């Protein structure tokens, strides 16, 4: 499998459902991340904020001050030892601006090592 972003059709086929359309409609950035931490799909909001994700590691969007905690949390999600994540982190937008955020992640389906991740800005 290449690191290119999946189309909505490929995403639905890969996951056996219509998760892509559900995530596309969210008004917050959302991604699907594979077992290597590579962004496989992102919604329009994520692309607007973070730029094109093709082949990028999800950790590329995490600020240095949050990398230790985010790395530990996201590794747990990828390995399946933490099926649901909710934590605070600093993320970097496509211009490198630091944004305090809440990260929410869960396994997208039990048949593949994919997790769905979304974040929202701290108020």
**Does 21 fall in a domain?**
yes
Owning domain of residue 111: 8-121
**Does 1 fall in a domain?**
no
Is the pTM higher than 0.85? The answer reads no
Alpha carbon separation from 105 to 9, 32, 95, 96, 97 (Å, rounded): 22, 9, 24, 22, 22
The whole-number pLDDT of residue 2 equals 58
Q: Residue 67 — pLDDT band, cuts 50, 70, 90?
A: very high
**Does 62 fall in a domain?**
yes
Domain count, the chain: 1
pLDDT digits (tens, 9 = 90+) for 21-63: 667 777 888 888 887 888 888 888 889 999 987 778 888 999 9
SS (H, E, C) 60-87: HHECHHHHHHHHHHHHHHHHCCCCEEEE
**Does 2 fall in a domain?**
no
42 CB contacts (<8 Å, ≥6 apart)?
5, 29, 30, 31, 32, 50, 53
Provide the CATH number for the domain around residue 109: 3.30.450.20
Alpha carbon separation from 123 to 34, 79, 99, 100 (Å, rounded): 29, 31, 11, 9
For the chain, the average pLDDT equals 77
Q: Residue 90 — pLDDT band, cuts 50, 70, 90?
A: very high
Coil, helix or strand for 107? strand
**Does 107 fall in a domain?**
yes
**Does 61 fall in a domain?**
yes
Distance, in Å, from the CA atom of 30 to the CA atom of 42, rounded to the nearest integer, reads 6
pLDDT: which is higher, 18 or 55: 55
**Does 20 fall in a domain?**
yes
Place of tokens 């999946």: 6
Q: Residue 64 — pLDDT band, cuts 50, 70, 90?
A: very high
Q: Is 117 exposed, middle or buried (0-12, 13-18, 19+ CB in 10 A)?
A: buried
Q: Does position 119 have pLDDT exceeding 70, yes or no?
A: no
The whole-number pLDDT of residue 92 equals 92
**Does 84 fall in a domain?**
yes
């Amino acid at each position: 499998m290449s690191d290119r972003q999946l189309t909505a059709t490929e995403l639905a086929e890969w996951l056996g459902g219509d998760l892509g359309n559900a995530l596309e409609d969210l008004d917050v950035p959302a991604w699907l991340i594979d077992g290597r931490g590579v962004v496989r799909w992102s919604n329009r909001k994520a692309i607007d904020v973070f730029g094109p994700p093709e082949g990028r590691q999800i950790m590329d969007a995490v600020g240095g001050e949050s990398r230790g905690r985010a790395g530990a949390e996201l590794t747990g999600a990828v390995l399946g030892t933490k099926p649901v994540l909710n934590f605070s982190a600093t993320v970097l937008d496509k211009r490198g601006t630091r944004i305090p955020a809440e990260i929410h992640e869960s396994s997208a389906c039990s048949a593949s090592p994919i997790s769905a991740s979304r974040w929202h800005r701290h108020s």
